[in-house]
Amino acid sequence: MKARIVTLPGDGVGPEVTAAAVAVLEAVAARFGHDFAFDEHLIGGAAIDATGEPLPAATLAACQAADAVLLGAVGGPKWSDPNAPVRPEQGLLALRAALGVYANLRPLQVHPALAALSPLKDEKLKDVDVLFVRELTGGAYFGAKTRTDDDATDECRYTVAEVERVARRAFELARARRKHVTSVDKANVLETSRLWRRTVTRVAADYPDVALEHQLVDSMAMLLLTQPGRYDVVVTENLFGDILTDEAAALAGSLGLLPSASLGAGSKGLYEPIHGSAPDIAGKGIANPVGTVLSVALLLRHSLQLDAEAQAVEAAVDHVLRHGPRSRDIGGNAGTDAVRDAVLAALDAAGDAFLQGARACG
């Protein structure tokens, strides 16, 4: 198949991990007979430096015309002044809104070979396989804001339609998994959460085969560390989802391991690792590219409907995590390029296996 993929390397380690992920996509195209065209554009601090805007018009137009968008990271100390009128994060928020990617999928699994890196005991990590579905284009991040010398406000607003569409996405995903949804809110205090809970409960009636439970966000933060294996699909609003998924990432041993997919109504998606720009290691060639490579697997699966190719990428990453080399954040000393090359070598073998399986089925 043919596909146009926009890459947005961004800031910090973003260019390094994005380059590794593009190499994996190029290998997938060569192995499986696809034609992927890549179009690189500016976003975040790099875009501010070059154009004065965190999301230039040319970048947005290219993203809107693409089949999928692959993002590295945005932000860094250079642009961290909270009083600055233009900040890198504004570009990412604007892009999410413009693309209408309202559901952020963040899968969490604890790799057996890396369990020792988790702060939890091994018995707590057994069977951890959670899919977070974070509402991405509403809530406090997008509400009206005010600030004076004496006070500040951030409006948190949700509509029934916004809650319903992300809830339906969560229930549909749960149907293909273990058929259990946990909805996280703060309905004992917040009116937005009361609307959220009422709407999710109503949507649940259309999915009688999927169990629903509600959890308050503060108790959920505790339960993720004490009983992580009991959860299947977790759906929540924007701010809560941002916090809970970073907390949950600690279970896997490193932020550098985890991917994400931001999806809307169609097949187009925005894919990025959940880690930030890591300015302290930027340019040193030691960033872990695994989270970005696994984001490529999500891109293949959700935007291009290439599930066998996605499985081949995931199998290659699994092989490298089991046998090495490993980057520094997960106990090794390999650089970005060494991990990339190991994934590419494993992908070559995994691609052979999947192609043989496809021929056997045919």
Structure tokens at 211: 């169990």
Q: How far apart are CA 133 and CA 262, in angstroms?
A: 9
Let me know if 242 is a catalytic residue: yes
Task: Determine which helix (DSSP H) or strand (DSSP E) holds 125, and give its type and residue range.
Answer: helix 122-125
Let me know if 207 is a catalytic residue: no
Q: Considering the candidates 102, 141, 231, 271, report the single residue annotated as catalytic.
A: 141
Residue 289: which of 241, 338, 246 has the closest Cα?
Answer: 338
Residue 262: which of 83, 62, 101, 124 has the closest Cα?
Answer: 101
Let me know if 141 is a catalytic residue: yes
**Whether the Cβ atoms of residue 5 and residue 70 lie closer than 8 Å to each other:** yes
218 contact partners, CB below 8 Å, separation of at least 6 = 186
Q: Considering the candidates 39, 246, 318, 337, report the single residue annotated as catalytic.
A: 246
Give, as one character, the DSSP assignment of residue 304: S
Q: How far apart are CA 122 and CA 250, in angstroms?
A: 14
3-state secondary structure of 227: coil
Q: Considering the candidates 232, 242, 271, 329, report the single residue annotated as catalytic.
A: 242
Let me know if 186 is a catalytic residue: yes
Q: Considering the candidates 11, 67, 102, 186, report the single residue annotated as catalytic.
A: 186
Let me know if 246 is a catalytic residue: yes
Q: Considering the candidates 49, 206, 218, 280, report the single residue annotated as catalytic.
A: 218
Positions annotated as catalytic residues are 141, 186, 218, 242, 246
